[in-house]
Amino acid sequence: KQEVTQIPAALSVPEGENLVLNCSFTDSAIYNLQWFRQDPGKGLTSLLLIQSSQREQTSGRLNASLDKSSGRSTLYIAASQPGDSATYLCAPRNSGNTPLVFGKGTRLSVIA
Amino acid sequence: DTGVSQDPRHKITKRGQNVTFRCDPISEHNRLYWYRQTLGQGPEFLTYFQNEAQLEKSRLLSDRFSAERPKGSFSTLEIQRTEQGDSAMYLCASSIWGLQETQYFGPGTRLLVL
């Protein structure tokens, strides 16, 4: 059974810092992995989807990397802004016919 | 196209009552997923549909829960005889089945069972 761990659970940084959020998963035979952000009391917004054959994916100030063999993904946020404050969730998927499995997320606060 | 919508956004009910939630996916998305999220946790999978066929149900989906997607468009999730432990955010997501199957989530329905 896939299990996902996200470290740290919470992070507070001053505006402008570059930061890394970590995600590890126990079953490395994944199909893809999606990163989401969730604002308090809201639904999830998809940030990046990285295929199992890819090593990284970029969107604006966000870069997600994937190391399947070690069961890890990282989300790099460059030049953080207060608007980046949210909970970030990673969710690997083991096949096209299995659901996403989520970690508990990393709660990020960017202080102006 | 306005994204995935869910109705109602909030529901307060008394223990033992039945509740029904609705999800309207992005048009032409053939897959629809239901997840449940409690405070401080990530979403947990409940069930999903491809078109009108329910392809998988989690063990979390007890016999008090039923989901339908009768015409392969919107879906409903019904909880019968609600319990306090059912209090959670119920999230719906949709996608187009295929290689880049990004799931797009709705705003969720927050349920409080008193």
Q: What is the pLDDT of residues B32-86, one digit of tens each?
A: 999 999 999 999 999 999 999 999 999 888 899 999 999 889 999 999 999 999 9
From CA B68, how far away is CA B73, in angstroms rounded? 10
Distance to chain A for B17, nearest Cα, Å: 24
Asked if residue B1 has pLDDT above 60, the reply is no
Interchain pair B42, A91: CB under 8 A: yes
Residue with tokens 């939630």: B21
**Mean pLDDT (whole number) for A15-21:** 96
More confident residue, B60 or B103: B103
From CA B112, how far away is CA A61, in angstroms rounded? 37
Question: Whose CA is closest to A25, among A82, A67, A63, A56?
Answer: A67
Q: Report which residue type is found at B47.
A: T
pLDDT at site B97: 85
Selected residue of B33, B101, B104, B110 to mutate for chain A interface (largest A Cβ count, 10 A) = B101
Q: What is the pLDDT of residues A52-80, one digit of tens each?
A: 999 999 999 999 999 999 999 999 999 99
Record the tokens describing residue A59, joined without a space: 């969107």
Query: If you measure CA to CA, which chain B residue comes closest to A50?
Result: B100
Among the partner residues B4, B44, B103, nearest to A34 by beta-carbon distance: B103
Q: Report which residue type is found at B13.
A: T
- Which residues, other chains included, contact A83 with Cβ-Cβ below 8 Å and sequence gap of 6+? A110
From CA A1, how far away is CA A8, in angstroms rounded? 22
> A104: which chain B residues are within 8 Å (Cβ-Cβ)?
40-42
Say if CB B21 and CB B4 are below 8 A apart.
no
Distance to chain A for B106, nearest Cα, Å: 6
Asked, as a colleague might, if the bond just before B43 is cis with ω within 30 of 0, I would say no
Asked if residue A41 has pLDDT above 70, the reply is yes
> A36: which chain B residues are within 8 Å (Cβ-Cβ)?
105
Asked if residue B101 has pLDDT above 90, the reply is no
pLDDT at site B68: 96
Record the tokens describing residue B50, joined without a space: 């491809």
From CA A92, how far away is CA B35, in angstroms rounded? 15
Among the partner residues B101, B102, B107, nearest to A43 by beta-carbon distance: B107
**Mean pLDDT (whole number) for B20-39:** 95
